[in-house]
Structure 1
């Protein structure tokens, strides 16, 4: 019952959504101090308010987004993940780089210039798709120069080269260089072929991607809508390129808050791919994942579950259980099942995910730590279900959760330490290494947060017994949380990354709140009182000043 109560309440207090976090609800560890309801009844040592404990545990259900992002291989805490998605969607780049090159067919002016232009373009395109952007830039620039000299400034070859170079600058986030090239390409194509030509539609789609990356949503919408009309009229309303623009228009509308229109477009784009025999392609899976996020954000969990099962089935058949893509899909399904109250199947999936990750990654990898945190939270939820009927089993679930949380904290501390990253046998770029450190710190914070909540559960569980023999985990968790801000290496991560700073403040406030509202004054030691005061001082330092 408490799951349904928490879910009902969360529907009314969902946080404002940010892009690429349409699933973002109130996260575990949110500061409950704004409520006037106490965690304990005055006059009794460990008499907890059951509904408030249920609500705190309910936050676990809705607090998975950060850790999902933190545990995924390809995207970690993506404040600007739409840009990352566009940059890595190579199939989209292939369609439009290749598509615009075809405009030169049948309009050959000089075999010499055509040959040089084609060599520069083909080699640049291959390097671009391999991620060798600096080398590709030189070749694309050479192709543009060759096209201008050989065919003239208003020739379609120039438009193709402008588009290719603009796409490269978009991926490199050199936006000031990209926009003039996009516009020049469109102008040339319109002058040469007319405003309703399919090549103009392709160029408009690319310009829409550019505006989407910059969050210029209204400009992106206009580009996509015009491109959609052109492609539908020329290519047909069942063409995959028509579906591609439809999907991207749906994303823009979703960001603009037009969720019904967005969902309809994305669903239709998926249907077109499926009818074209591409229902199991990577592109279709990406679209189903995005649709799933929309469904989760509107609390339509059963519909989301159906799509997640479909994604998992496709990936399991195509890649096998021990692939990281399949593991992430299984984890996403498990978290949705957890929200629906299906803890048994959720646990089975998370345990399989952990076993697979321990095969794929070193034992001290950040994804292993995140998986353990998920399992620990689920064990805490299961303990809460068992507390009135099977106290010993409920206690065993808490013991298991504590072991998982402690192991998770140990792993991420190792990663955050001076030699931690050397333990990772997978080489990564500096950027990826920094993302791993951000992920590790957020996992540590949420693990500490969960340890504090576990302390509350433990004391409520033993309230039915005559003695309480467990130490106060809240005090130790608060101490560790404060020490994160005092250590130079982790303090810099808190101060430099807005998402980590937000997570840190939430954890600190929640632990302080647990320490002050779940104990009688006589039980708050001098040391704990000092920790509470120190936490308040750090909160004041980090909280944004209001004028």
Structure 2
């Protein structure tokens, strides 16, 4: 699909006579779409719950295309396209959309083409390194990129653009491996060579600066990243124009830096403008535009501008419904995010309808016992609890029916997550495969998070039940809360789930919240002098766990 979109774009922006040459170069790209945004594929944060369903990809960024006499940097974001050949005078760029655009630049006449034994070796090493890199064989790719850099220096000279290309490729590899101390000097050397070869305002310098900005952003060196992006934007604006999608790409990344620096208004303006440019260029339905809109909606949610976030989320969902339909998990996740925003706005009926549609679609695509189904059930249980509270003064029988519905949803969520955390013997035998084991660990981490949030909501269920008591007598002892607290304590005692808690900060936060709510309900339900020994033992166990997990100042 990415290649088909690439060819469609090339047809639009190149004369037909030049399409064949451009397409031949484009066929060499073996790039899959990735998600470069800071927030993740689909993440959303609500006051009580936080889920992130994220699909991980290689985070590849900029690269270099070499052409006969000189080198051309690619204006990418989100992945690298490494050195390869293309017709002289053409710059092939791959945007975040996973599509390529071709922009005619001034032809560079810089003397005769250097061709010797180093030239062919350099090309072979570069191609091999690129192919291995894209396959994820980073160690082998590193060896070829190092050999390519050596051949470039011996065959073309220490300050030749081919050397800049090889420096950039090797730097990108080190960035992916997070060997930052080796990557930075290579980036700087590439930029220095390009500036001396073509001038500080050349498009290749601008693209290299964008690369360096990505490198600094990955390390949260925001001052350096901002400076690189601002310089890159200036160059790209002069050469490509302020309506070019690659200019908008750098603008978007500058916006992410400004947001991380706390400059929300400036950040929002840049991201909105980058979205507008994509829409004007015909990329309003592209994966990149959707990612940017999703990131903008997250900014709006974080600043509690729920109505604006709702509008943006509706726009994203409409686009995905038309382009992918409800057989896509991306559509489902987007609809779920909108449902949670509607819930915060008090639109419970529409929120429930969306969540029920998400649940049916998930069961169809995944399975009825998938961790995402458990999370979906949890969201619906929360809606049922809110409905129950609204019905308390109107229709007691309706309020109780909603509580029963919430209880059933929570029980099913607990059943699913416990089965994932404690697989059967047959399932355990299948975990010998590295890939299956890795995926299983991700599912267990997600299942633990959902289970903890579900147990937490069991506490809310208990509170709501007490509020429905018609007599003035004290609420009955919260049996459900005690059972949930026992489950919560057992999670810490089980070696595997304990390991997840100790090594995953997000799971630890959920666990502490669950532990505190449930223990508070149990502790406050019975006068201390009348507590049975088993209940006091539970409370003592909670205190011991808190002592192990939390610093002293956070235990109360």
User: Is 1:405 matched up with 2:410?
Assistant: yes
Residue 63 of structure 1 corresponds to: 48
Give 1:243-254 correspondences, 5 Å limit: 243-254=248-259
Map of 1:534 onto structure 2: 541
d(CA) in 2 for partners of 1:232, 1:99: 25
1:123/1:159 Cα in 2 relative to 1: closer, same or farther (>3 Å)? same
Aligned to 1:449: 456
Task: Indicate conservation of the 8 Å contact 1:182/1:207, yes or no.
Answer: yes
Deviation, 1:333, is: 0.8
Matched, 1:117 2:98: no
Between the aligned partners of 2:530 and 2:463, the Cα distance in structure 1 is 14
Q: Which residue of 1 aligns with 2:94?
A: none
- Of residues 151, 154, 157, the one that matches 1:149 is 154
Q: Secondary structure at the match of 2:77?
A: helix
1:232 paired residue number = 237
Structure number with the higher strand fraction is: 2
1-structure distance, mates of 2:425, 2:367: 12
Q: Which residue of 2 aligns with 1:92?
A: 77
Note the alpha carbon deviations across 1:223-249, whole angstroms, 9 max, x for none: 111111111112111111111111001
Please point out which of 221, 235, 252 is paired with 1:216: 221
Indicate which of 491, 498, 502 corresponds to 1:491. 498
1:113: how far off? 4.3
Aligned mate of 2:287, from 282, 291, 301: 282
Provide closer, same or farther for how the CA distance between residues 98 and 143 of structure 1 changes in structure 2, counting only shifts above 3 A.
closer
Residue number in structure 1 paired with 2:69: none
Instruction: Tell whether the 8 Å contact from 2:61 to 2:81 is kept in structure 1 after alignment.
Output: no
Residue 40 of structure 1 corresponds to none
* Matched residues, number: 482
Q: CA deviation at 1:531?
A: 1.0
Task: Report what 1:503 is aligned to.
Answer: 510
Q: Does 1:158 align with 2:163?
A: yes
Query: What residue in structure 2 maps to residue 37 of structure 1?
Result: none
Could you give the per-residue CA deviations for residues 486-529 of structure 1, whole angstroms, max 9, x where no partner exists? 11111111112222222211211121122233555587543223
Cα distance in 2 between the residues matched to 1:95 and 1:167: 7
The one of 317, 321, 325 aligned to 1:316: 321
Q: Which residue of 1 aligns with 2:202?
A: 197
What is the CA–CA distance in structure 1 between the aligned matches of 2:85 and 2:258, rounded to whole Å?
A: 26
Question: 2:211 aligned with 1:206, yes or no?
Answer: yes
Q: Is 1:305 aligned to 2:310, yes or no?
A: yes
Name the Cα RMSD after superposition: 3.2
Using CA pairs below 8 Å that are at least 6 residues apart, which structure has the higher relative contact order? 1
By how many angstroms is 1:168 displaced?
A: 2.0
Please list the CA deviations of residues 103-155 of structure 1 after superposition, one character each: whole Å capped at 9, or x if unmatched.
89866311654444344434543443444434433443333233222212211
The runs of 5 or more residues in structure 1 that have no matched partner are: 1-18, 28-60, 76-83
Contact 1:113 1:146 in 2 (8 A): yes
1:184 aligns with 2:181: no
Checking the alignment, whether the CA contact within 8 Å between 2:62 and 2:172 is kept in structure 1 is no
Asked whether the equivalents of residues 421 and 448 of structure 2 are also in contact (C-alpha less than 8 Å), the reply is: yes
Distance between the aligned counterparts of 1:501 and 1:254, measured in 2? Answer: 27
Q: Which residue of 2 aligns with 1:43?
A: none
Check conservation: 1:99, 1:199, Cα contact below 8 A: no
Partner of 1:172: 177
Deviations 1:375-413 (A, max 9, x none): 111111111111211211211111121111111112111
Q: Using the alignment, how far apart are the partners of 2:545 and 2:383 within structure 1?
A: 31
Q: Describe the shift of the 1:355–1:278 C-alpha distance in structure 2 as closer, same or farther (beyond 3 A).
A: same
Within-5 A mapping of 1:231-380: 231-380=236-385
Contact 1:100 1:160 in 2 (8 A): no
What is residue 459 of structure 1 aligned with on the other side?
466
Q: Which residue of 1 aligns with 2:29?
A: none
Is 1:517 matched up with 2:498? no
Q: Distance in 2 between matches of 1:349 and 1:114?
A: 59
1:318–1:121 Cα change, 3 Å: farther
Structure 1 or 2, whichever has the larger Rg, is: 2
Structure 1 match to 2:55: 74
Q: 1:420 to 1:96 in 2, by over 3 A?
A: same
CA contact (8 A) 1:372 1:404 kept: yes
TM-score (norm 1): 0.80
Which of the numbers 534, 537, 544 marks the counterpart of 2:551? 544
Matches of 2:335 and 2:456, distance apart in 1: 25
Tell me, in whole angstroms, the C-alpha distance in 2 between the residues paired with 1:470 and 1:337. Answer: 34
Aligned to 1:380, the other structure's residue is in SS state: helix
Q: Output the TM-score relative to the length of structure 2.
A: 0.79
Hey, what's the Cα distance between the residues in 1 that align with 2:275 and 2:526?
Answer: 53
> In structure 1, what is the Cα distance between the partners aligned to 2:327 and 2:263?
38
**Conserved in 2, the CA contact under 8 Å of 1:24 and 1:297?**
no
Separation in structure 2 between the aligned mates of residue 535 and residue 139 of structure 1, nearest angstrom: 55
- Specify every segment of 5 or more residues in structure 2 that has no aligned partner in the other structure, as ranges: 1-37, 64-75, 92-106
Match of 1:3 in 2: none
Moved more, 528-537 or 193-202: 528-537
